[in-house]
Amino acid sequence: MTAAAVAKGLLALEGELTPILVQMVKSANTNGLLDNDCDSSKYQNMVKQRLHEAFQVDHDFTEEDYEKLNPTHARSIQNALQFITNPVKTCQHVYEIIQELIKLIKCRADESKTQGHLYHGETWELMLRRWAKLEKDFKLKNGKFDISKIPDVYDCIKYDLQHNQHTLQSPHAEELYLYAKALADVVIPQEYGLTLQEKLTIGLGICTPLLKKIRADLHRNIDPAADETESVNRLNPQYSHGVSSPGRHVRTRLYFTSESHIHSLLTVLRYGGLLDEGKDEQWHRAMEYVNAVTELNYMTQIVIMLYEDPTEDKCSDRAELHDSDCDHAVRRSNKGPALRGTISCRASLQSWCCVLCPKEPSPWAWVSSTKSQRAGQS
């Protein structure tokens, strides 16, 4: 649906989104870009189980806990863990605020003057059902907390705080948001692996088809023969004022994918050996910005820009990487405008393709023998 909405605006289409969605090109190949590897699901379930166990311990986090839950030392996760302090007490506090919120919703529902003032016509009954289900599912009958529901709690309070707080007027909404966000800042990214090895194993398993597609498109963009075989739409002269080279054809590929693929793609680019953080100062600063990103929101964008200098040899191709959430994180930080607030790197196309589709098993030696063979063949 997001792809249909963007296509409607980009191509100036008219009408409802559903007919546009039906007309969009679909095939087994494109649908396969969202397929997950069975092994990655197995590893991810194992990681989720370890996370669940770590959040059922009723004591303050120790240095050992910090190392176990954040072995890659991501700054955003470290800050969240320090805010949480005691996972059981924090989850219990969130649960109690949810109960207070449900009581408030029931009171507001009984006041006839507030009827019909929720965002997009949502009824008080529906809002009550949303939160009542979260209350029921979050704390299990055995007294333990189901941390897989934390993202749902966070999404719900963020939605109501943005759109319904003027009507709901909950005195604890912002407090619930802060605690739910801290929990989500740990649970969501760490479900894709705790250690570097786990992150790469799960990331490759989830997004290898997407990586292959990006790699193929990067190669196609520098293939001069491709211009002869594809239809080209040129810029309307009416809008070309101020453009230095309006006749130049710039190929654009838009990939609309899931949150799991965004996490996995960023993991592979981050830990896949694209550049040496110890030797490249720009890449080192870019990785610091990535460490500050707390979440990958809806409409998160990862932009890969490919440049070519026709006056030089074939090695002149360069690719740049930009991420919208890093830009947002840096604007909120006090670190200054270095790199203009984006994760940005320049690397040769050959380096990019080695990361996107490794041909040798050696860069992935940390994976099990079965995984190493699969990665080497991809």
Residue 257 reports pLDDT greater than 70: yes
Final residue of a structural domain among 191, 214, 243:
191
pLDDT digit string (tens) for 213-248? 888 888 887 776 655 566 666 667 776 677 777 666
Whether residue 291 contacts residue 270, with contact meaning beta carbons closer than 8 Å, is answered with no
Higher pLDDT, 109 or 365: 109
Neighbours of 113 (CB within 10 A): 7
What pLDDT, on the 0 to 100 scale, is given for residue 3? Answer: 79
Higher pLDDT, 114 or 66: 66
pLDDT digit string (tens) for 74-125? 999 999 999 999 999 999 999 999 999 999 999 988 886 655 688 988 999 9
For residue 188, name the pLDDT band (cuts at 50, 70, 90).
very high
Mean pLDDT of 275-283: 85
Show the tokens assigned to 81.
């863990």
Whether residue 170 contacts residue 101, with contact meaning beta carbons closer than 8 Å, is answered with yes
Both 158 and 261 in a single domain?
no
Higher pLDDT, 310 or 375: 310
Both 63 and 187 in a single domain?
yes
State what percent of residues in the chain have pLDDT above 70.
Answer: 74
Show the tokens assigned to 318.
């360069």
Residue 316 falls within a domain, yes or no? Answer: yes
Both 347 and 212 in a single domain?
yes
Q: What is the DSSP track for 167-186?
A: HH--TTHHHHHHHHHHHHHH
- Which domain does 111 fall in, by range? 56-191
CA nearest neighbour of 85 among 72, 66, 68? 66
Both 108 and 215 in a single domain?
no
Q: By three-state DSSP, how is residue 219 classified?
A: helix
Show the tokens assigned to 110.
């009984």
Distance CA 193, CA 30 (A): 26
Residue 260 falls within a domain, yes or no? Answer: yes
Both 174 and 215 in a single domain?
no
Residue 115 falls within a domain, yes or no? Answer: yes
Distance CA 194, CA 276 (A): 21
Both 257 and 133 in a single domain?
no
Residue 274 falls within a domain, yes or no? Answer: yes
Residue 37 DSSP code: P
Both 144 and 161 in a single domain?
yes
CA nearest neighbour of 101 among 56, 22, 21, 156? 156
Residue 280 reports pLDDT greater than 50: yes
Both 145 and 282 in a single domain?
no
Show the tokens assigned to 249.
């054809």
Both 144 and 211 in a single domain?
no
Query: In the chain, how many domains are there?
Result: 2
Both 199 and 347 in a single domain?
yes
Mean pLDDT of 140-168: 95
Residue 29 reports pLDDT greater than 80: no
Mean pLDDT of 21-26: 71
What pLDDT, on the 0 to 100 scale, is given for residue 366? Answer: 28
Neighbours of 362 (CB within 10 A): 8
| Contact partners, residue 310, CB within 8 Å, separation at least 6 | 316
Mean pLDDT of 346-364: 48
Neighbours of 274 (CB within 10 A): 20
What pLDDT, on the 0 to 100 scale, is given for residue 279? Answer: 87
Both 184 and 199 in a single domain?
no
Lowest average pLDDT, out of 9-18, 46-55, 140-149, 364-373, goes to 364-373
User: What is the chain's mean pLDDT, rounded?
Assistant: 80
Residue 2 falls within a domain, yes or no? Answer: no
Output phi, psi for 353, to 5 deg. -70, -30
What pLDDT, on the 0 to 100 scale, is given for residue 352? Answer: 54
Higher pLDDT, 349 or 154: 154
State what percent of residues in the chain have pLDDT above 90.
Answer: 41
Identify which of 193-207, 261-275, 279-293 has the greatest average pLDDT. 193-207
Lowest average pLDDT, out of 36-50, 76-90, 142-156, goes to 36-50
Mean pLDDT of 288-309: 85
Residue 359 falls within a domain, yes or no? Answer: no
Residue 134 falls within a domain, yes or no? Answer: yes
Show the tokens assigned to 363.
């860069």
Residue 275 falls within a domain, yes or no? Answer: yes
Both 207 and 182 in a single domain?
no
Mean pLDDT of 120-136: 94
For residue 348, name the pLDDT band (cuts at 50, 70, 90).
low
